[in-house]
Every structure is written in structure tokens, then in C-alpha cells.
Structure 1
Amino acid sequence: MLTRDAEAAYRQMPRADRLRLARGAPAELRPHLAGLERRLQAQERYMYRPAAWAREVLDWPEGQGVTPYQGDVLDALPPRRRVAVRGPHGLGKTGTAAWVVLWFATTRDAAGVDWKVLTTASAWRHLSVYLWPEIHKWARRIRWDVLGREPFSELSELLSLNLKLVHGAASAVASSKAELIEGAHADSLLYLVDEAKVVPDATWDAIEGAFSGGRMDGLPEAFALAISTPGPTSGRFYDIHRRAPGLEDWYTRHVTLAEAVAAGRISPDWAQQRARQWGEDSALYANRVLGEFRAADEDGVIPLAWVEAAVERWLAWDADGRPPVEGRRVLGVDVARSGGDATVLAHRHGHLIVELVVHEREDTMQTTARVQAAVGDEDTGLVPVVDSMGVGGGVVDRLRELGVPVLPYTGAARTKVRTRDGEWGFTNVRSAAYWRMRELLDPAFGAELMLPPDDLLLSDLTAPTWDVTTGVPPRIQVERKEDLVARLGRSPDRGDSVAMAFWAESLAASTVHSPAHTAGRSSAAASRYGRTIGGGGTARTGGRR
């Protein structure tokens, strides 16, 4: 084996001199020199050609390969240094990011360059669940004979969230730890920002600091790749794509739906179905299918970004082993009104919707039995809030007959509830319930709500619009359910069940009906259920009680 100094000297030789030296080397050194030569040739061929690296170094199954737009993104990185990519869900963003990390690590290490890769994302889950497992997957498909080295050792080199080679390392860093990103130093640096749409500005500023000493040719050098589905029209990722002053040195790439369909990455049927499911004019469709920045409509009740943040909190809770959450236990029940609708049970515990349980084509007696079973015979404190309009009224009546404490929810009823600031009233309970969801999800007030990852739920909560009627006080009117059904082509069952679950505090305890001695329940039990909701009178949202 060569010493480190001898290997460094060998690297500096012209290729013809290296080959002459290798031919005359002792037999025991020739395999080592041959491998070193292959690494040097790979370094020379791929050092600044990531697209060629992906095409030729990765072992591709028949019919698969780098798409044209992925090749554009990869080839833009060496000359442009800062590349930001947005596009639809499913175009292969995480795979592209994994290739970049592996290309950078293998070529810099082969060149003997001091290198470092920092990977970050809007949420730690994107790193631990998506990006780094993707890096592991593609590392198993590297053609090591082309690179002239042994496969990564999973004991000492390719770890769960790290890649440690001879001359550098790649690591995962939380986007909230800007100081760790700012402290990175190496002759060759790469920053990989996955799901970049909501990464904090401080992280972007820390990344930019690395470019202050970088050169466009030679070392030191710095590169940054930011890749994401777009989100609201705010934040640094959005500013980069709108070419805000001072950010023009970023190269931006919008991968269109048509490009992804042509590359076989997205099915046109999937896109058409999402248009029907979410609505072509919705922010959800614009972000995830068109790859365009779009906030919720100006007249939308709840911004999409707020709901997505609640989903991220749910996913973090789930990844943490689902620790217990304190607070009221409520079951929001939206009862199906027709054959095309679904009965949805939203299981709420404190500020958490644990799960949504959906039942198709179920009669009211089956729904009643499910609610009764969820409440159980023991005094668990769970109170069902059941939509009492239409066929739901039969479920409420039957639950009362069975002695099950129930809070009937009547969306069309009047309410004295006002907005958090007390300035606005509401035309009806449904308007107030959806506005309460808005207030509970508002990040300006320390939102804690956690919502399960359900695309229909996201659509249901973000689709309704609102208007204001005159009067004293002026009143907020949320889009009528009938109008929303006509616009979406379906009933917002999931959104309604969740809104009902979080409306329980605003229902008077006197509306909890439970006969004193039916179905084995006592008046004391009924009283305990009443206290669970918290007293008589009409409560106001947001703590104005």
C-alpha cells in the first residue's frame, strides 16, 4: 500500500507519468495503483458532470434513467452553483437530491479534496424518513467498478444519517440549527435543502455565508441545491423563484406537469383525479400538481400552509411513538346524508385528531352503534358531537334513548360566538365552527393543533370561502355547505367532522342529553359528561368566554 504522502504525490502526476509508474511498480502495488487510477479517471470524468455520473455510475434497470429535466437540474449545478427547483409531487425530487449527495461525495473523495455535505429540510422527518433512506437506496445501485473502490461500509462509512469517507462527510442538520450550518468549513461544500418551501430565513442566510469565500473555478468552492414542491407566496424559496432583488444569482427551474407526464413520472389520470378531488382552482392543486406557488384564496377561510403545518405536527407526534396528549376527548360525527357521502368519525384528544374513521354507505343504526361503542360503558369522558341536521337527527335521538351523552351540532343554528378579537359575529354555527378552526390553526397565536395526513381533509378545510354581511356586529358567513358540495362535487365530510370535534367547547353543557336511568347509565354519569365540556352558557372562541 502507498503511504498517504505517496498517494498524494501520485495524484499530482500527469496521467502518462502515472501509467508508466504503474507499469513498473512491484506486483503487490499494482492492484492498488489500478484502483487508484480508476478513481482518478472517475474524478476527472465526473467531478463537474453530475448528470453523466448519474447516467453512467448508477446501475439502471431496463427502461429507466435520468429524465431530461433531472439532467437539466444536475448539469446546472456546477456552472451556476446555486440551483432552486420546484415542481409537482412525484417528479423524483428526492431521488435527484440523493444522486447529488452521492456524486459530490464520491468525486471529491476520489480527488482527495477536503469536502463536506450538509443536508437539511423543513422538518427532520424529511431527512430521516425520506432523503437519507433514498441515499442508502441509490448507494446500493452504484457501479463500484466504475468508481474504482469498494462499496460503502454500513458499519463505518454509510450510516443512518451520515456518510463518512476518507476526505469528508455528509450529514443531516435540522433547519432550525442555523448555527451548525453556518459553522461548516471545507474546501468543497455542498448544501442540500429538501422540501425548501418553509425553511427558515436564518438557514438560508447561513448557507449564503459559505459562498462569500467560494470561487467559480478552483478551490474553495460551494454549491447549493434547494428542491421542493412549492407552497404559499412567501418565504425565501418563493423569493428566489420570483427573482427578488439580491437573489438573482440563483438558477431557478420549474419542472412542469407536462414535463413530468412526458417523462413517465406522473400519470395524467392521477392529475385529472386530483383536479376533481381538490378543484383546479385550489391552492392544493396548484402546489402539488402544477408545481406553482399559490397561497389559499384570499377569500378562503383557512390557509393551506396552516393546515400543512398541523399535519407536520401530527407526523412528528406519530414518529415520536404517539406520546399521550392531555385534554378533552371528543368524537366529531358527520353522518352521511346520501349514498355518495361517507360517515366520518373524528377522534379528538385535546388539540390532537388521533384519527379519522370513514364508513361508506352505512345506515343510521350502524352509525349509532359505532358511536355507542366508542363511548363505551366506562366513564372515559368521551363526548360525541353529532351533526343533528337531516338523518343525523335520528342518530342523536337514538343515542339519547340509549342513555349516551351527546352534543347535537346544528350548523344552521344561530350563535352569539364572536371572533377572537370580539369584533365579528357569525351568521350561523357552521361559520363559527370553521372560523374557530382558522383561529386554532393560526401560527401567530402558537398553533398546537395536530391533524392526520389526509388529502381530502386538507381540501375540505381549505376549500370553503367566506364573506361578510352587514349588521351590528358585522357577521362572517362561511360558504354554505350546499354551495361547496356543488363546487367540489362531493361533501366535505372529513372537514365537517373535525370542525365539529373542536366546536365542543362552544356548545352549552345543557345540550348534553342523557336520561337519568336508561341503558344502565346513572344521572351521576350524565353529570360527569356535562362537566367534561365545561359548564353552561355560550362560550366564545379563542378564550373570550
Structure 2
Amino acid sequence: MSAITVLWFATTREAAGVDWKVVTTASAWRALVTYLWPEIHKWARRIQWEVLGREPFSELTELLTLNLKLYHGAASAVASNRSELIEGAHADSLLYLIDEAKVVPNATWDAIEGAFSGGRPEGLPEAFALAVSTPGPPAGRFYDIHRRSPGLEDWHTRHVTLTEAMTAGRISPDWAEQRRRQWGADSALFHNRVLGEFHASDEDSAIPLSWVEAAVDRWHGWNDAGRPPVEGRRIIGVDVARTGSDSTVLAHRHGPLISELETHDLEDTMQTTARVQAALGVDGADGLVPVVDSIGVGSGVVDRLRELRVPVLAYTGAAKTKARSREKEFGFTNVRTAAYWRVRELLDPAFDPELMLPPDDLLISDLTAPTWSITTGVPPRIQLEKKEDLVARLGRSPDRGDAVAMSFWAESLASSTVRSPTNATGRSSAAASRYGRSIGGGGRARTMGR
């Protein structure tokens, strides 16, 4: 729809000899480069040019990668964080296309609103804007437009319902039902992406959906840049499968980046041990540290790695911890709660987050599904929804979320105690010291502890 709107506007104004401009913007540059402009190219090739009375756009001089340049006007892509470029657009006929509009900055919206100051109900000059997005939390300008906030009543809003999408054949009923079972009917993920409704997880979920989606956007930015090297310790969080329906998940972490989620089904502990050992490289020379869930079948992986003299960090989610929240006001009922809360703190937009998460729907669900509460005591403690209750609600184990949370708990494990193999003299190996104790002393660990 967005691509066809751009082509309609450009061809009709060009045919009328009107001075025109189209500015396309989005919350992320990737949305323009990867989605919108390739779609404009696709639909341009399907235009019935004989009806328009002209030759198809030349892809050498007119329809370029991110621009359309014709005699009377042009369409172009502009980053949403460059509001001064958006504000500088002038023409007798203007169109603004705002894709993924739910998180476009307010400064961009204000710059676009300025273009309507000279518009007339009929005739020239004229200005139009089309904002398209899946909904997010009930906040921001896109949400304000849909709730008809004062001063924004001149926008025409349209909510495409799930029933409409299924009737049109654009969404399969089976897909919608699977997502309901996967994400939960009450989850923000299901309301946003399936029902198309504004919904927030902030009140009851330990980690807000919008924070996780921002981290996914940062991951896409890293990926689109050619996956440049990222500074920081290399950690691998290993959540070992307990039943046939669960997956063993290896979360590959480089500093603030989860570069990859590696999943394996129906493997025994020796196979999992071999995968972790292979990831370490020759003699652990690449500096990677495994953090392995030590409860249940995972204990076999921990024991075998120690037997192989691998400096593994054992993670016990049910263990007690003296860790405190960033503001030191709250404690935690157990390590699992503290680990998930650590991820929450690393995602908090108030602290310039750097954490990057891969675009995995199950991971997003795992991180945003658990609820939390406060228990009384001195200090009061944060308590995450019990694992068994979450599994019953989701119908599966949150393996991906656990692996990621474990990988970011490595610094706390290393700074408290490191159980590592000893050499023949009974002293801890140098490799264990380098991979274990030293983790807690770097700048990244201090950032995490803020």
C-alpha cells in the first residue's frame, strides 16, 4: 500500500505538471532500504504504462535505489532522526510517507506537521501524510493520533482488524491460532502483531516488549553494517533441554551483542558438551566462557566440561543471591529473577542501552512473557513468575530467554565464585583464572552494575 501510494502520487502530479515531492521515512533506515523502496521498484514494473502514456521509469536515470527523480519532482528516503531534512522539503504538492510510525521521534512528526501550514482544502499548495505501522504500547504520536488527541483530529485513522485480514486472505486462521498459543492471548506481542491493537506489557511483564523490539532494531543495524566486530567478553549461555519437546539453546554473546541463537533438539548431554567444546575453539584460545544451567540434565554437561578442564560457569536459577537492583532498593528471590532483571536493566531506554538481540519471535516471547511482583522483607525482593507457571501458560519452556539471561549473568557468577578444574598441583589453572575471575573486572561489568 505504501509503495503504490508513492507511485500514485508521483505519476499523477508529474502528469499534471505540478511541482511535487515525496519524503519517505521510517523508524529504522533498514525499513526503507530493505522493505519500502524494493517494493516501490516491484510495483513500478507492474504499472500499465500505456495507460499513463509514457515509457517505464528508467532505472539508470529516474528510478534509482532510494530515489525517484522525474522532471517536475522527486521522491526520496530520509532517516527519521534527521528532522531538519524533513522540515526542509518544499513543493506545491507534498506527500510524507511514514513507515513503522509507532516509534518515529516526535521531532520528525513536528517537522511534518509544519508542511501543512500552507495547505489548502482545495487546489495548490497541498500536503498529505500517510503513516503506517503495527501498533505498539499506548504511547507516542502514532498512538495519540489514533486516540484522537486534541489537535490531531484532522488525521483519518483506520484499524485493520484480524477478521478483515483473514477474510482478505492475507492472514491464515491457523497462523493466528498458533501465535495465540505461542505468545499467549493476553501478551502484548499477540495484541500488537496479530490483533493490531495498542497494548503494553510494561505493567505486568518484567521486560517491556518495546524495549526488546528496540534491541532487535539495534541488532539489525549491526547486521546491515556487515556485522562489524563488537568489543567485550565472549560468553555462551547454554540452556540444556530437559524433555523431548524442549530445545537445547546456545546463546552466543559478544559484549552487549547476542549474535546468534543456536538450537538443537533431541540431543544427549555428551552431544551438548561436544558442541560447547567445539565453540570454545582450540584450547579455549578464543576466550569464550560457557555458562551452563546446572540443574537437572545440565549438571551432566557441567561435570563433563570440568572433567575436560574447561573453565565452565555453573548457573543455578533457583539459588539465592545477594544481588540488588540498579538503584539498590530491591533484592531478588533467586538467581533466575536477578538474571532476567539484569537483562531488563540493560534494555532500559533511560540508560542509553547497547544490548542487541536477534530477531527471533520465540526469544521475544520468552523475554516479555514472565510477570513479576514484589515480596515483603528487608530489603523487599523482586520475584519473577515461577518457571513452572510460565511453562504451563506458554505450553513450552522459555529456552531462548533463559539462555540469553544466563549469558548476561556471567559477570555475577565470575565475581562471586568460580569452580574450575585444578592442575596436578591442586592450584586453579591459568585458563580458569583468565576466563573466570577477570570477567568481573572489566568496564562492561561496571556498566551492568549501575
TM over 0.5: yes
Q: Which residue identity is paired with 1:137?
A: K
Tell me which of 144, 150, 156 is aligned to 2:49. Answer: 144
Listed as ranges, the matches of 1:102-117 within 5 Å are 102-117=7-22
TM-superposed deviation, 1:540? 8.9
Question: For 2:446 and 2:375, how far apart are their aligned partners in 1?
Answer: 20
**Number of the residue aligned with 2:29:** 124
TM-superposed deviation, 1:338? 0.6
TM-superposed deviation, 1:437? 0.6
Q: Which residue identity is paired with 1:321?
A: G
Contact 1:232 1:293 in 2 (8 A): yes
Question: For 2:446 and 2:75, how far apart are their aligned partners in 1?
Answer: 51
Contact 2:146 2:157 in 1 (8 A): yes
TM-superposed deviation, 1:381? 1.5
1:248 maps onto 2:153 in alignment: yes
Listed as ranges, the matches of 1:337-486 within 5 Å are 337-376=242-281, 377-486=283-392
Question: For 1:423 and 1:527, how far apart are their aligned partners in 2?
Answer: 32
Question: For 1:322 and 1:253, how far apart are their aligned partners in 2?
Answer: 38
Listed as ranges, the matches of 1:161-200 within 5 Å are 161-200=66-105
SS at match of 1:273: helix
Contact 1:408 1:511 in 2 (8 A): no
**Number of the residue aligned with 1:217:** 122
Contact 1:333 1:345 in 2 (8 A): yes
Question: For 1:333 and 1:542, how far apart are their aligned partners in 2?
Answer: 20
Pair member with larger Rg: 1
TM-superposed deviation, 1:327? 0.4
Listed as ranges, the matches of 1:252-331 within 5 Å are 252-331=157-236
SS at match of 1:253: coil
Contact 2:14 2:73 in 1 (8 A): yes
Deviations along 1:293-341, one digit per CA (max 9) or x if unpaired, are: 0111512100000000000000000000000000011000000011110
Q: Which residue identity is paired with 1:241?
A: H
Question: For 1:318 and 1:534, how far apart are their aligned partners in 2?
Answer: 28
Question: For 1:541 and 1:169, how far apart are their aligned partners in 2?
Answer: 46
TM-superposed deviation, 1:535? 5.9
Contact 1:436 1:541 in 2 (8 A): no
Contact 1:352 1:450 in 2 (8 A): yes
SS at match of 1:286: helix
Question: For 2:25 and 2:267, how far apart are their aligned partners in 1?
Answer: 46
Listed as ranges, the matches of 1:61-80 within 5 Å are none
Contact 2:418 2:437 in 1 (8 A): no
SS at match of 2:55: coil
Aligned length: 445
**Number of the residue aligned with 1:234:** 139
Query: Which ranges of structure 1 fall in alignment gaps of 5 or more residues?
Result: 1-95
**Number of the residue aligned with 1:101:** 6
**Number of the residue aligned with 1:6:** none
Contact 1:301 1:478 in 2 (8 A): yes
Tell me which of 412, 436, 443 is aligned to 1:506. Answer: 412
SS at match of 1:181: helix
The verdict on how the C-alpha distance between 1:375 and 1:510 changes in structure 2, with shifts beyond 3 A counting, is farther
The verdict on how the C-alpha distance between 1:219 and 1:254 changes in structure 2, with shifts beyond 3 A counting, is same
Q: Which residue identity is paired with 1:284?
A: L
Question: For 2:414 and 2:18, how far apart are their aligned partners in 1?
Answer: 70
Question: For 2:137 and 2:266, how far apart are their aligned partners in 1?
Answer: 37
TM-superposed deviation, 1:525? 1.9
Contact 2:412 2:440 in 1 (8 A): no
The verdict on how the C-alpha distance between 1:425 and 1:510 changes in structure 2, with shifts beyond 3 A counting, is closer
Question: For 1:467 and 1:289, how far apart are their aligned partners in 2?
Answer: 27
SS at match of 2:198: coil
Question: For 2:48 and 2:204, how far apart are their aligned partners in 1?
Answer: 54
**Number of the residue aligned with 1:491:** 397
Contact 1:302 1:462 in 2 (8 A): yes
Question: For 1:176 and 1:395, how far apart are their aligned partners in 2?
Answer: 47
Q: Which residue identity is paired with 1:132?
A: W
TM-superposed deviation, 1:508? 3.5
Query: Which ranges of structure 2 fall in alignment gaps of 5 or more residues?
Result: none
TM-superposed deviation, 1:517? 3.7
SS at match of 1:166: coil
Q: Which residue identity is paired with 1:193?
A: I
Tell me which of 65, 76, 86 is aligned to 1:160. Answer: 65
Contact 2:215 2:355 in 1 (8 A): yes
Deviations along 1:170-206, one digit per CA (max 9) or x if unpaired, are: 0000100111111111000000001100001111111
Question: For 2:292 and 2:407, how far apart are their aligned partners in 1?
Answer: 9
Contact 1:311 1:453 in 2 (8 A): yes
RMSD of equivalent CA atoms: 1.6
Tell me which of 134, 149, 164 is aligned to 2:39. Answer: 134
Question: For 2:411 and 2:27, how far apart are their aligned partners in 1?
Answer: 33
TM-superposed deviation, 1:511? 3.6
Question: For 2:416 and 2:319, how far apart are their aligned partners in 1?
Answer: 16
Q: Which residue identity is paired with 2:243?
A: S
Tell me which of 421, 429, 432 is aligned to 1:523. Answer: 429
Misfit runs of 4+, over 6 Å: none
Deviations along 1:231-275, one digit per CA (max 9) or x if unpaired, are: 111000000001111111100000001001101111111101100
Q: TM-score, normalising length from structure 2?
A: 0.97
Q: Which residue identity is paired with 2:301?
A: V
Contact 1:420 1:541 in 2 (8 A): no
Question: For 2:287 and 2:397, how far apart are their aligned partners in 1?
Answer: 30
Contact 2:4 2:40 in 1 (8 A): yes
SS at match of 2:275: helix
